[in-house]
Structure 1
């Protein structure tokens, strides 16, 4: 195309696909939001360049009926490039058809998207209601065995790649029933009394999905869930080793059903219980999580996350709560909400780093005295009680321990004398760094062993410094949030404005394991997690 056209013609027929794509919700055929919003990512549809080629002033208008997300799309342009040889305009509608049902390309009056069912109500169970700035919101939960829930998710599946980096449409909607029963769909709606003063108008504000993974009930799992399990002799230990980094394990879907006829009996809360496929020790894993851009910046992400976690935590069969491949924004939201919950536990809120350690525990050939620095049995108890995954819980413990050290003492410049410093607070910070270094060494042993011996220390020290800066940012924002947001408050939660689509696109591809830098961690989350995304591994 460049060989046949001058630069002005190329510019005329080349448009950024994010900027040409407009999304809105409708009721009775009319837009609900005064301004349509743009997607954050369109490369799954139009390629890595995120460009529409071959049209002058192209515009894609994607509308969703507010309550059930029935879609309708319209593609318009001023002029179309005439093909020269093999160079021709993109088939925009053909590309969109891979992500939208066929009916979406019909006129709204024909496919029913402009009509309203006044008797409609969300499927599933109402699990939470709250208010923000005088507006009422509800969170509903349903399994994907419910056909209406599947239809909603099928209608809006294009939003996953448009709003989640690396997101793929929901390809599991045609799974067998045993798998669908393990999926949950959470729908967040703004709820208003309709103009007729009788019916109720529902407008989708966000949604999330989760999947239940069966866990082999080894001794650790059974003990954590309250069963009295006798300790076997050390030489006959037969426990299956759990994945120590479950958040990053591939999944979350199981390809075969859990054992329906396992005949496994557990004694929970003093009662003998026979497990079933859903009533068995499990991990609940959060998959997609989206707050629509017009509703971002008002703590709806926090409300949806807390509601889901509270529901999972109250389920006696949920052993652990995990997240599949969280991005930077969701990592921040998760840290704030999990830390707020843990600080309601007096034993966690009182965790501090010790300032004095017996000299024999610090001998050159001694192991790092993590059991002396922090009561590991207590941490195990709190981790199982909270049902937070081990990796996430370890982060929160490190943040909590850091918060016990005065800000003026959180500097390596003060550690010249290390553990022999005259100031108690400086010694606490030195031991905090030692504690984090130990965790980093253990977690990244396979990578570190590939480095020369003299390179390992500086690499770990660099990772600790990066972790410190991330934690300091988390604590700063967390303290601001605590001053104005009460967890589960019925009204007036808040967070700063979310980033623009342009700012989000600039951050595309920046994924690391733990030492990510969030550009604005005080925002409410717009896009968060996706089951098929991948992260770049770093020492952290």
Structure 2
């Protein structure tokens, strides 16, 4: 019999299930498959030796207490070197030993968990929100807290299943190292199905860590000190640092419901409020997270850019036409570099990320018909350059030059190895790709804003109609209703903005 008859897709074989107590036995809240299994079962993501294989990983919805249950229709009988994969042996490297109890014992433990009723997520409640009529909370706690580590230890297998190239955290490090880490848990508050069940059900989580940031006033002259040893102890939280997002995951049943936006915004707010944090960075983001991050950061920075009327100066050399411009690009004459630097520092956004958001905003300020997406004549623009008759054409020319300048600085070591003509062509192609990515994000952002505005107006009309019908009251209940509508509508947006939003070129 062919090997293929005994080989199955690991992604299909693994079933991930969230459960909570039921009237007689645990009931299923949701079941979903992993996106990846190669860290566990190899690059081919296949399992040999079984027919009808199901590897069911159950997790208690509140504390993620795990359980492994393996079933199959037939198992291959070992012949010479051909033997079925030892599933228990492989999974023991990824799941705690306690997960390998019998199914009856696990179900009994979930049903009779005496601590479930009073369970509260570890750490501190940092954000609450409502979306689609359901209530959610985000809790943040230090990895030095044993309760935080206990839940994260159970959740770590999700990293291998859903975060490409992700690796579980080392939870047995010294306490001073663990203190650098903060874990954010997203929970839904549900109606307990039984009197002893928990009111919390996990939605997702993120981890961040502090990366020491060397900061010195360039005007301050270094001076040696003869402080006595040992030096006084300094908490990690008191040192200047960058905050870096390491893992970020919303479980599949809860995706496309705005939870990623709330989670990222909560982390950014914590960074913004902490005077010791210089900026927020992300470790190896994928395209989906890039789209989410771009959308949220654009939503944060756009009002600031509009307030300061940030735009491209179409005449950096003055109003007089110049046949041959100077060799150096006068960046400070094209955009307000000092103002932009201050905005970036104030909102603690990393330089490269800020550049993406700034470029996207500046592009949005150029009327569509003067951009490639609107049919702008690039060949004519490259001939006219800064001497184009229309100031928006000149703005677009300078915009492309600013992006090329950033791209060249970022990839200089590679570009200088190319012939000048190839270098120019490569930059032109890359700028076009970057622009296409920005256009996709802007289109999605504008559609989102229009939808929110329409829903807001609809809610206001409904309130006005009720007031006209005499349903309002003098105690201000209608005003409270209006605020509630606004918050709920704002929070029903998707985590990302679809596949189109994820096309931004990573440069």
Same fold (TM over 0.5): yes
Alpha-carbon offset, residue 347 of structure 1: 5.5
Deviations 1:175-204, CA, capped at 9 Å, x for gaps: 101011110010000002324679751000
Q: Which runs of 5+ in 2 are unaligned?
A: 224-228, 457-483
Alignment check: 8 A CA contact 1:440 1:539 kept: no
Q: Which residue number in structure 1 is paired with residue 410 of structure 2?
A: 443
Structure 2 residue aligned with 1:176, among 174, 177, 191? Answer: 174
Kindly state the Cα deviation for residue 519 of structure 1 after the two structures are TM-superposed: 3.1
The answer to whether structure 1 residue 423 and structure 2 residue 390 are counterparts is: yes
Q: CA deviation at 1:114?
A: 4.5
CA contact (8 A) 1:354 1:373 kept: yes
TM-score (norm 1): 0.79
Q: Does 1:127 align with 2:126?
A: yes
Asked whether the 8 Å contact 1:260–1:277 carries over to 2, the reply is no
- The answer on whether the counterparts of 2:295 and 2:496 sit within 8 Å (CA) in structure 1 is no
What is the CA–CA distance in structure 2 between the aligned matches of 1:522 and 1:390, rounded to whole Å?
20
Q: Which residue of 1 aligns with 2:61?
A: 66
Determine which of 4, 9, 12 is the counterpart of 1:19.
12
Name the structure with the higher helix share: 2
Higher relative contact order (CA 8 A, sep 6+): 1
The aligned residue for residue 32 of structure 2 is: 37
The CA deviation string for residues 23-73 of structure 1, in whole angstroms up to 9 with x for no partner, is 11111252443x511000001111111111110011111110011101001
Match of 1:342 in 2: 301
| 1:204 aligned residue | 202
Corresponding residue pairs, total:
455
Which sections of structure 1, spanning at least 5 residues, go unmatched? 221-230, 239-258, 264-274, 500-517, 524-537
Is contact 2:179-2:236 (8 Å) kept? no
Q: Any idea what SS the aligned residue of 2:313 has?
A: coil
Which secondary structure state, in structure 1, belongs to the residue aligned with residue 349 of structure 2?
Answer: coil
2:400 aligned with 1:405: no
Q: Which residue of 2 aligns with 1:506?
A: none
Q: Which has the larger radius of gyration?
A: 2
CA shift, 1:360, in A, is 8.9
Determine the C-alpha separation between the residues in 2 that align with 1:158 and 1:445.
Answer: 39
Contact 1:108 1:114 in 2 (8 A): no
User: Distance in 2 between the 1:109 and 1:408 partners?
Assistant: 67
Supply the distance in 1 between the matched residues of 2:73 and 2:492 (Cα, whole angstroms).
42
Selected match of 2:428 from 461, 469, 478:
461
1:65–1:114 Cα contact (<8 Å) kept: no
Please provide the CA RMSD for this pair: 2.8
Aligned 1:2-17 pairs, distance under 5 A: 5=1, 9-17=2-10
- Change in Cα spacing, 1:360 to 1:31, as seen in structure 2 (3 Å) is farther
**Which of 357, 379, 383 is the matching residue for 2:316?**
357
In the other structure, the counterpart of 1:269 is: none
Are residues 1:213 and 2:208 paired? no
Secondary structure of the equivalent of 2:81? coil
Q: 1:332 to 1:113 in 2, by over 3 A?
A: same
Deviations 1:359-402 (A, max 9, x none): 69884552111111101111110010010001100111100100
1:231-289 per-residue CA deviation (whole Å, 9 max, x = no partner) reads: 36xxx899xxxxxxxxxxxxxxxxxxxx99479xxxxxxxxxxx743212111111100
CA distance 1:279–1:81, change in 2 (3 Å): same
Match of 1:392 in 2: 353
How far 1:94 sits from its partner (Å)?
1.4
2:159 is matched with 160
Q: Could you tell which deviates more after superposition, 361-370 or 286-295?
A: 361-370
Task: Give me the whole-angstrom Cα distance separating, in 2, the residues matched to 1:333 and 1:497.
Answer: 6
**Following the alignment from structure 2 to structure 1, what is the Cα–Cα distance between the partners of residues 496 and 392?**
37
1:100-499 equivalences in 2 (<5 Å): 100-111=95-106, 112-116=109-113, 117-170=116-169, 172-195=170-193, 200-219=198-217, 231=219, 261=231, 276-345=235-304, 350-358=309-317, 363=324, 365-411=326-372, 413-414=377-378, 415=381, 416-485=383-452, 490-492=487-489, 493-495=491-493
- Output the TM-score relative to the length of structure 2: 0.83
Distance 1:337 1:262 in 2: 40
Report what 2:49 is aligned to. 54
Please give the alpha-carbon distance, in whole angstroms, between the structure 2 residues aligned to 1:43 and 1:162.
Answer: 8
Report if the CA contact (8 A) 1:361-1:369 is conserved.
no
CA distance in 2 between counterparts of 1:62 and 1:194 reads 22
